Each structure stands twice: as structure tokens, then as C-alpha cells.
Amino acid sequence: MRRRIGIDVGGTNTDAVLLEDDGVAAAVKTPTTSDVTTGITKALAALVARAPGARTAQAVMIGTTHFTNAVVQRRDLGRVAAVRIGLPSGASLPPFVDWPEDLAELVRAEVVMLEGGHEFDGRPLVPFDARGMRAAARRIREAGITSVAVAAVFSPLNAAGEEEAAAILAEECPGVAVTQSHRLGRIGLLERENAALLNACLIELARKTTRAFTEALRASGIAAPLYLTQNDGTVMLAEVAEAYPVYSFASGPTNSMRGAAFLSKRDEALVVDVGGTTTDIGSLRHGFPREANSVVEIGGVRTLFRMPDLLSLGLGGGTRVAREPLAIGPTSVGYRLTEQALVFGGDVLTVTDVAVAAGLIDLGDRARVAALPKALVDAALTRIRGMIEEGVDRMKTDAGLVPLIAVGGGSFLVPARLAGVSEVLNVPHQAVANAVGAAIAQVSGEVDQIFQDLTREEAIARARRAAEDKAVAAGADRATINVVEVEDLPLAYLPGNSLRTRVRVVGDIAE
Amino acid sequence: MRPVTADEIESLAIGAWILGTGGGGSPYLALLNMRQAYRKGVVCQLMDASELADDDLVAVVSNMGAPLVGQERLTDPKTMALAVTMMEEYLGRKFRALMSLEIGGGNSIQPFMGAAVLDLPVIDGDCMGRAFPEAQMTSFAIHDLRMYPLTLADVRDNAVVVARAASWKWMERISRKACVEVGSIASTCKAPRTGKEIKECAILGSTTKAIGIGRAVQAARRAHRDPIDAVLEVTGGIKLFAGKIHDIARRTTEGFLRGTAAIEGLDDFRGHTFRLAFQNEFAVGWLDDVPRVMTPDLICVVDTVAGDAIGTETLRYGQRVTVLALPAPPILLTPKGIEHVGPRAFGYDLEFRSVFA
């Protein structure tokens, strides 16, 4: 039997599910703890207690918004040296130039700009300043900086500058972590550099977190390999993923939407995911989240990551409700819900208290909200309905009625009937859809290769076959493989009509 | 003459990117340079052409090259200013103001970058009313004004003066060769213009127009109204198609980004296909293989939800886009204008028909 454990570590709850073949065998929801690990250990213990078979799972997939939250909330970020290779070009726009000032202040330890980089046709822009790099590396070591992001002009076409810089850094600064921009992004120097800088400031946290995940798993007596889920709904082995925390930035919403599709067996629908702090509304197309067109900002930093197109509302189970005048949010008590909400003995009126008072859900001590005026409860629910209806309307692509899948721990807040919606789908295990999405994550195969003397169609076809072979080698079922990305870039400077072709495919894990 | 606020530069960046018709390069990096300048206390001045004396000299400037290259070799105000001062040295005369070559894309902001360094005003206008890939595709060329001299500055301290050229096309060929040689990106100062030439032959008021388009988009977003409707209202444009990009082919040749994009229809356009051909900018669009829109009508591709323009270098598989047509400046629609910037100027054997006719 195919057994997989999916875990979602959210800002409020840590959810775990055991998937046996195509069914959810057990699911648990526990509060996220400030150290993250304790929450996972508790969730796994509860899961094993409910389904002892969980111990023999073949794979454990963890999805987490931990790294995104670290950037958004400006916490646990490392200080970073930025090395830009490309002078004399770009001098007026140094690294961090378009970062929010508060975040830049936290992260920016050193900025080094050196001569080097390449032209679009592969010629050097100017010779690489290796001596300057060595001097900078020594300053970086003396300053005690342990993480460096390196970005060179046109490095996706010619990575020699970044590689040489990384080699010098490795010689001069033993143990330093170097993020090379060409590993993370494509053409677009500032956005690629931003991705490398974000990655570099998260790398220490990623290492610690990934190791804590592994320990939590071992402590639970589970021997299966640990995977982290990525933005595109695929997984990477934890020891590889820890070097690329930015690849997991959007994995939370991706998992919840993929989980919603799996649980509802619908491939075309809107999904509303009500969590503890926010409500995310997205759109499923062919079972995958529709991607945002434009540049994506993470904590105010511009990047070119492919992310689900989401509308985030400040509405969740932990959202504070103000009475006079009535206001819903935008702040939330987050994972302190079970201490601070009225029904749990606290003194903060939250959306959960309103839902308990209205009889939408039974949680905590109902008597503690019995005295809430009915007019207040009704007005708050009307306001919440309005927020969801407006959000749904903004995410719709046409005027017709669309089905809406409700998931997340706060899905009880979604009314059964909504304007513009054909039906609200409530499915079993909807509260843990994100953990289900992690458990069904797929494996990918990617080929990025230069082909010569082939037509564009032939080059793409050949790259596609090679990518499929790689995915199968990584454990994918060939029959389920889909192409998710095709990109080709002509290389004018190489002889014989050279075309750099990149194809990425994903498939389900084979049994 | 009036001061330009930092907010107006932000609006200009949005409006100019829409008028860029896919080319001209994203104004984002030029905008970042201006944010840096305004943070240091710079305030640029916008000057109406009527304030020019007939014998004043105006520097017509642009960042020349392939937009893709501009994404890596980031634009710098110093290089822009260098092209202008080189021209002053060559002429032995000072400029009264700077003006944009093309209001579409990043070149809308280039004169402000130069002006911030040189402390000169910027003329409200340009000579394309949009973006075009080549030097002879300007209102000055259509009016048969002199095309030389031209200065070209590279960030590595390479500089070129094109002292004379036999025609606009020769000027384009010679300066393009120099541009490709220095990496397909360079700051240029085109043939200097007198105040009289600006008043008679430039496309005036286009800076204010671009600011207005940007402001309409921003206002629509704040009010949760459709930003695309706002663009159509303020420009008198037409919505041609909406769908999802399902194929994109690009190649960089001779310093240009050429290629095609195919869009599968959604909603009202389901079952139909729209194909776009581009040379830096969108040149022709076919609806189900029948020509539907062609240059010089402005062909703009925008994000269906946000209303942001999408450049030919950032088109991507799966993007949901809307194709708009906006009216071209009248000078481009004259028989002489069509000769310079109509479909045949881009190698398409099509008789020009405006979608607004």
C-alpha cells in the first residue's frame, strides 16, 4: 500500500494527514508552537496514535509558510553580504535598491560592486575583478558574515563570474553559504538578485528548521525520507531543499489549492482557504492554481517567482472583532487563539467567538459567548459574508456562477450560499486540505540544455523527452506526466543556430 | 514651466508602459533611478513647447537597444547625461531643455534622468507618441528634418559621434551597428532640434497624456474598478481580444527582439485565436488568421486583472492578457506617416487600415 504523510505548518495550526493510496486514513490538527518543532512532534504523535500505520509511511512531505512569514514579519533573518558583478554598468542601482528600507536595514551587512559580467551574446562586459573579489571576501570574513548572495550581469547565459566569485569566497571564508543568482532566476538582474538576497538571508533559518523537522520525524519513530514542498506543487528532498528556502515561498497556498482539488475531485473552481489569520482566494485551472501574471512581491521585495494568483483578506478564525464601531480585523491573535479567544477563556473577541455564538461551530466553552448581543453577531456575520463575496467576485474570470471549494480550519465561516457562486463545496477533511495537498505533491524533472541545428519544435520535443526520463527516474509515473514550463532562449553568439531550451515536467509518484 | 511631483513620475511610468505597445523597455528601472534622485531632493521641471524661443536648442534623448538587455545592464543617469554633454561639446552650444524620443516605455523617463543630472527642464512631448524600434520612425523623419549629428555613450567610456548620415535609414544602420557592438544598449542624444522644429514637428503634450493614463489606472485600482476600462475611457481605445498566451517564440537579432505570440481566447473570445508579431513593439495582430490591427495604431497587451502593460520581453506562457488598440497621433496616419511606420515598414505586405477608421 502507498502510504504518505503530509504536514502543513501554518502560522496558526500544524496539520498532519496520513494518505493511504487515494484516501485520507487519518487527520489531525494541532496548534503551531513558537519553536515549530514541538507542534510537528505533537501532530505526528497524534497521527500515529490514531493510525499506527503512519509509522510505515514511505515518504513525509512538509509544506510550510515559515520562510515567507519570516520575511513578512521581519524575524529570524540573517545578515547578508551582497556581491554584484557588473560594473561599470548598473552603478546607480545597487543591491537592495528597491527593498523596503526596514527590511534592507535588517538584512544588508555589506554591499560589494565589482567589475565583470557578460554581454547578451556571451562576450565579457569587462574582465572579472577577481582581486577585488578576494579583498571583499576577506572583509566579509572579518565582519563575521556567514551568508553571501552573488549576482552577475547575464549570469543565466554565462555563470562563470558567479562561479568564480563563489570559489574565491569558499577559499577565503570557510563555511560561508553562497547563493548564486543563476541557480534561482532567469533574465532580469534586479529581480534575480532579490531572490538570491532573500534566499541568503533565510539560509540559516532554513538549515535550522529543516534539521528540526528531521529530528521531529525521527523522534516520532518514522524512518521515511523527508521532502519539502515547493511553490509549484512538487517536492524536493529536505537536504537539497534547505539550500533553497525561497522555492518554498508559495507552497502553503499551492498545497491548499491542490488539496482542495483532490478532496473535491473538481479541477475547475474557486478555492477559499480560511486560516487563522487570513483568507486566501484562488482559482483552480486543470487542478492547479492559476498563476499570477505580474511581478510578485514578498514582504515588499520584487521577485519573478511563479506564484499562485491569490487574493488575501485579513479574515481568519483568530481575527479580532471590534465592537464600536464594528470592525473585522485586520489583526489576528494568530496561534494564541486557544489562550486569547473568549471561548477559550481569554478576553479578546475574535471571529471564532462570533461563529460559536451563532452556532456555526462548537468550540471551547460556548457559555462564555452566550451574552454576546445577537445584533452584534448578525452584523459581524453579514460583514464577513460581504468580505468573502467581494473577494470571490474579484477573483472570478467571467460573470457566470462558479463553484467554490471551502477549505482551511476556518471554513465554517463560509456561508452555504453566496452571490456569484453556483455551490459552496464542503468536503471531508476540508480543514486539513493543505496537508493533503502536501501529501499528494508530485515529482518533477527538468532539462536546461543547449541544442544546435535543430528547429525550435525539435529542440523542445527532445528536451521534453529528456525531462520526462528524469522525472521517471525520480519516481514519477510516466502516464501522469505533464509539461508545466517551456522556455527557449536563442544564443546568437554560438555557431550553428544554438537554442537554449528549458522544459520542466511534473508527474504523480508511481506506486 | 512647472515642477513634476514624485507621484507624477510614478503615474508616468504606468502610462508610458501602456503607450510602449510592448516595447520601449519597462520604465521600472528608470523609475527607480528617479526615486533615488527625488529622495536626494531633485525636482524636475516640465516645460511647454510654447515657452521655447525659436532658436533654442533641445536635446532629444533615448536609451537605445534591446529591452531584454536593459533588464540586465541597468540604466544609469550619468551615461544619459554623458550623451547630452558630448553633443554640447560637439556643437559648441548649450541645450535649453531635454525631450524624450519616444513616450512609450522607459524612454519616457530617460530625459528626466538626464535632466536631473544636468539641471535642465524636460519638454512635454516626444516624436513618436508611442514606441517604435527604429530612428526613421519619428515625426521628425516624417517631416524630413535633418537626422544628424548623433552621439552615443556606452557605460565603459566608449563614445561615438555620427557626424553625418545620408538618410534616416543610414543613421539608423550606423548607430544601430555601434549600439550592437557595445552590447545592444547605449544612451543616445539624437539630432539636436530648434525650438521652432519642436513646436512645429514634435508630438506635443504626450508626457502629460502618459501621466493622465497612469493616473486613471491608479484611480481605478484604488476604487476596485476595471483599470482596462479606465485606459479605454481616457484614450478612446478599443478592446480587441482577451485570453491566455499559449505559445511564444522570440529571437534576438541585430539588436532587436523579434517574435510571435499566440493567445487562446477566454470568455467572450472563447474558440478564437489571436496572433501577434513583434519587433521590440507589437506590429500586427491577426484574429483567426485575418489581420485585425496593425501599426501605427497602438497595439497594447495588458494584464487582464491588474491592467499593467506586458512587454514583448516579459510575455510568458499561461499569462492572462487583454489586447487593446489605442489611436495613433494624426501625423503617423498621413500617407507619409504610413510610409515610415505602417505595416510595410515592418515587412508585412498589408494595406494599412486603422481599427478606428
Query: Which residue pairs from A382-386 have beta carbons closer than 8 angstroms and sit at least 24 positions apart in sequence?
Result: A383/A326, A383/A328, A384/A315, A384/A328, A384/A351, A384/A354, A384/A413, A385/A415, A385/A418
Alpha-helix residue ranges (DSSP H) falling in chain B: 6-19, 28-39, 67-70, 77-91, 110-118, 139-142, 168-181, 195-201, 206-222, 227-235, 330-333, 335-341
Verify whether the Cβ–Cβ distance B183 to A394 is below 8 Å.
no
CA distances from B281 to A148, A505, B135, B242, B324 (A): 38, 31, 14, 19, 14
- pLDDT tens string, chain A, 511 residues long: the values are 889 999 998 877 899 999 998 899 999 999 888 777 888 999 999 999 999 999 999 889 999 888 888 888 888 999 999 999 999 999 999 999 999 999 999 999 999 999 999 987 778 999 999 999 999 999 999 999 999 999 999 998 788 999 999 999 999 999 999 999 998 877 789 999 999 999 999 999 999 999 999 999 998 899 998 999 988 788 888 888 899 999 888 888 899 999 999 999 999 999 999 988 889 999 998 788 887 756 778 888 998 777 788 888 889 999 999 998 999 987 888 778 889 999 999 999 999 999 999 999 999 999 999 999 999 999 999 999 999 998 887 777 666 789 999 999 899 999 999 998 999 999 999 999 999 999 998 888 888 777 778 888 899 999 999 999 988 887 788 999 988 878 777 665 455 566 778 888 988 877 6
- Secondary structure of A388-407 as H, E, C letters: HHHHHHHHCCCCCCEEEEEE
Per-residue pLDDT band for B218 (boundaries 50, 70, 90) equals very high
The verdict on B319 touching A (C-beta cutoff 8 Å) is yes
Domain B2-206 CATH class label: alpha beta
Is residue A64 in some structural domain?
A: yes
The verdict on A89 touching B (C-beta cutoff 8 Å) is yes
**Owning domain of residue A477:** 442-507
Verify whether the Cβ–Cβ distance A125 to B36 is below 8 Å.
no
Question: What's at A319, amino acid-wise?
Answer: T
Q: What pLDDT is recorded for position A311? A: 81
Q: What is the mean pLDDT of chain B?
A: 94
* CATH number given to B226-346: 2.40.390.10
Instruction: Give the total residue count for chain A.
Output: 511
A292: which 3 cell numbers?
499570477
Helix (H, G, I), strand (E, B) or coil at B19: helix
Instruction: Provide the shortest C-alpha distance from residue B157 to chain A (in Å).
Output: 9
Q: What pLDDT is recorded for position A296? A: 77
B267-283 pLDDT tens trace:
889 899 999 999 889 99
Which of B17, B74, B80, B315 best tests the A interface by mutation, with the highest count of A CBs <10 A? Answer: B74
CA–CA gap between residue B242 and residue B273 (Å, rounded): 10
Q: What pLDDT is recorded for position B155? A: 94
Domain count, chain A: 2
pLDDT surpassing 60 at residue B34: yes
CA–CA gap between residue A54 and residue A4 (Å, rounded): 8
pLDDT surpassing 90 at residue B133: no
Instruction: Provide the shortest C-alpha distance from residue B95 to chain A (in Å).
Output: 24
Verify whether the Cβ–Cβ distance A126 to B29 is below 8 Å.
no
The verdict on A189 touching B (C-beta cutoff 8 Å) is yes
Per-residue pLDDT band for B33 (boundaries 50, 70, 90) equals very high
B26: which 3 cell numbers?
519597462
Q: What pLDDT is recorded for position B139? A: 97
pTM: 0.86
Which domain-ending residue is among A207, A231, A265? Answer: A265
The verdict on A153 touching B (C-beta cutoff 8 Å) is yes
Cα A91–A95–A100 angle (5° rounding)? 125
Interface of B with A in 102-131 (CB under 8 A): none
The verdict on B155 touching A (C-beta cutoff 8 Å) is yes
Q: What pLDDT is recorded for position A429? A: 95
Interval B169-192 mean pLDDT: 93
Instruction: Provide the shortest C-alpha distance from residue B53 to chain A (in Å).
Output: 34
Contact A96, A197 (CB under 8 A): yes
Which range has highest mean pLDDT (B53-57, B265-269, B313-317)? B53-57
Percent of chain B at pLDDT above 70?
A: 98
Domain with residue A228: its CATH number is: 3.30.420.40
Which of A120, A162, A182, A489 best tests the B interface by mutation, with the highest count of B CBs <10 A? Answer: A120
Which domain-ending residue is among A244, A265, A286? Answer: A265
Cα B83–B86–B88 angle (5° rounding)? 115
Helix (H) and strand (E) counts for chain B?
12, 18
Query: Which residues in chain B are closer than 8 Å to A89, comparing Cβ atoms?
Result: 73-74, 76, 155
Which of B38, B72, B270 best tests the A interface by mutation, with the highest count of A CBs <10 A? Answer: B72
Verify whether the Cβ–Cβ distance B306 to A126 is below 8 Å.
no
Please give the backbone phi and psi of residue A434, each rounded to the nearest 5 degrees, phi first: -65, -40
Verify whether the Cβ–Cβ distance A93 to B72 is below 8 Å.
no
Name the residue in chain B with its Cα closest to that of A399. Answer: B267
Verify whether the Cβ–Cβ distance A91 to B76 is below 8 Å.
yes
- Which residues lie below 8 Å from residue B223, measured CB to CB, with a gap of 6+? none
Interface of B with A in 168-207 (CB under 8 A): 183-184
Predicted ipTM of the assembly: 0.90
Q: What pLDDT is recorded for position A390? A: 83
Domain boundaries, chain B: 2-206, 226-346
The verdict on A375 touching B (C-beta cutoff 8 Å) is no
Verify whether the Cβ–Cβ distance B155 to A88 is below 8 Å.
yes
pLDDT surpassing 70 at residue B117: yes
Q: What pLDDT is recorded for position A2? A: 84
The verdict on B29 touching A (C-beta cutoff 8 Å) is yes
Interval B301-313 mean pLDDT: 88
Q: Which helix (H) or strand (E) holds A190?
A: helix A189-219
C-alpha distance across the termini of chain A, in Å: 8
Q: What pLDDT is recorded for position A492? A: 53
pLDDT surpassing 80 at residue B68: no
